[in-house]
Chains A and B, each alone.
Chain A
């Protein structure tokens, strides 16, 4: 499992380096978050800054990769190391970016390439927006609900998948700012750039909605063919990631080509609102959700209260990841308590509690092995901790046990619910089974 977790993220430093290095190429007159005129792009000092950025970015990615590979071989504390490394991978690549942005901005001021501040431009010739029809998002919602016909016990999970499919439309519609991609006074260029961005943005969310629907369908395969399902899910995830990056790069490529000859006499420059070239802070702008200047993604205006809340939430989430790693690692050693009294059987570990009325129990027996083809459907599956709803060849089964601590108390209730519970101390599990028989 250690290997799977690490291999699923070890490619991130290379991807982020690739994306950041792409920012060296001028798109919409912007290089590393700084708007430069044509003459500025060929400037020798600018080229030196870009070269330094390139070297630093490659070095940062190589360091992160080496640290990640080394962490793979460190036994124990897997999740703590994994989370810590993920946080570093999200932050470290942007340090060379911010440093280069600062140097470029300084040079821009020295050379007098700055423009008037606090001015916003709009083109009256901008085309009205045509959004994708919401009905296009209905088929994935219905596809995601289909597995309910096979697995009624996991209806909640499939409904949640359908909700995620529907949320793709909400994200498409509302996480995008309806703003023309104005670079200079060329209205035709503005219209072309806006159309390309909107098209790729819509395509991405439509693909995301259908991908979610197929994940739901593949989940239904899990009980009968867990390995095939796992493999197909992996392939699907790789395909989604590839397509997301592909669309982003396609948008950037179009922006690069269409604005190659811009940056002459007059061009739009709102660098002063972009802190470090990454964070948007503009009190004059009433919008919270804004478009990134390069590519097709969205960001938030941290000068708005809602934007600040969203950004704070993201920072707290990042800061909380290592803490979550420590907690996840502690699950592997956290005691699992089984207790039986006159009325109930209780199994608890941390925040998880299962209570079964004794009068509802149809059978209780000890098993030395966990079922074959056991697959997690809903819950936690760690090396030394299984908790939540799983499935085997007979259907859904609730688990709370350490897979390395047999025996397991197998309970079937009168209404057909199945449980596999075990303490980390074998004697406690045996004692619980004996008490249930009395």
Chain B
């Protein structure tokens, strides 16, 4: 899976990394048990601080998307988290509000959600 970091974006680099790994798992690009690069390797690769990568991995671990091991490093968790966090639900609510304000109909919103939900499912 190709990760990309946009240095001109307002979004923090650790969040960019976290979101891409979540998207990778959802789209099936990252399989359960698949090893992720070590913190040092990924920081070296992208020229970013090790703390940035570490922060993203910590967050992913606390959310249950990845597991870390002292010897084998980080890998995608065998089972995905079943609980949706309050923050995610809050973010979804804001997204829906924004779409409603933009004039999107309920049908269009559901169709869009369905398309996104099915992305990568066939992979």
Contacts and interface: CB of A to CB of B under 8 A. Distances in A.
| A and B from one complex | yes
A278 B36 CA distance: 33
Interface string B4-36: 111110000000000000001000001000101
Contacts of B3: 121-124
B8 A117 contact: yes
Most chain B CB within a 10 A radius of its CB, from A120, A121, A124, A180: A124
A8 interface: no
A287 interface: yes
Contacts of A178: 41, 44-45
Most chain A CB within a 10 A radius of its CB, from B2, B6, B34, B38: B2
Contacts of B34: 124
Interface residues of B, number: 23
B2 A123 contact: yes
Given A126-B41, A177-B44, A121 B2 contact: yes
A414 interface: no
A124 B48 contact: no
Interface residues of A, number: 23
Contacts of B49: 286
A285 B49 CA distance: 9
Interface in B65-87: none
Nearest to A184: B2
Contacts of A180: 45
A214 B49 CA distance: 42
A306 B96 CA distance: 48
B47 A118 contact: no
A126 B73 CA distance: 14
Most chain A CB within a 10 A radius of its CB, from B44, B45, B49: B45
Contacts of A124: 1-3, 24, 30, 34, 36-37
B59 interface: no
Contacts of B45: 122, 126, 178-180
A284 interface: yes
Nearest to A129: B41
B46 interface: yes
Contacts of B42: 122
A119 B5 contact: yes
A112 interface: no
A286 B4 CA distance: 16
Contacts of B37: 122, 124, 126
A120 B44 contact: no
A119 to B, nearest CB: 5
Contacts of A117: 8
A138 interface: no
A146 interface: no
B5 A120 contact: yes
Contacts of B46: 120, 122
Nearest to B52: A286
B41 A120 contact: no
A350 interface: no
Interface string A125-137: 1101100000000
Contacts of B2: 121-124, 185
Contact of A286 (B8, B30, B48): B48
B120 to A, nearest CB: 15
Interface string B39-67: 00111111111000000000000000000
Contacts of A185: 2
B26 to A, nearest CB: 15
A23 B43 CA distance: 30
Contact of A123 (B1, B6, B30): B1
A123 B49 CA distance: 17
Which 5 A-B residue pairings sit nearest by Cβ, starting from the closest?
A285-B47, A118-B7, A284-B7, A118-B8, A122-B45
Interface of A: 116-126, 128-129, 177-180, 185, 282, 284-287
15 contacts: A119-B5, A120-B47, A121-B5, A122-B3, A122-B46, A123-B1, A124-B2, A124-B24, A124-B30, A124-B37, A128-B38, A128-B41, A129-B41, A284-B7, A286-B43
Given A122-B46, A128-B38, A286-B47, 7 more contacts: A117-B8, A120-B46, A122-B2, A124-B3, A125-B1, A179-B44, A286-B48
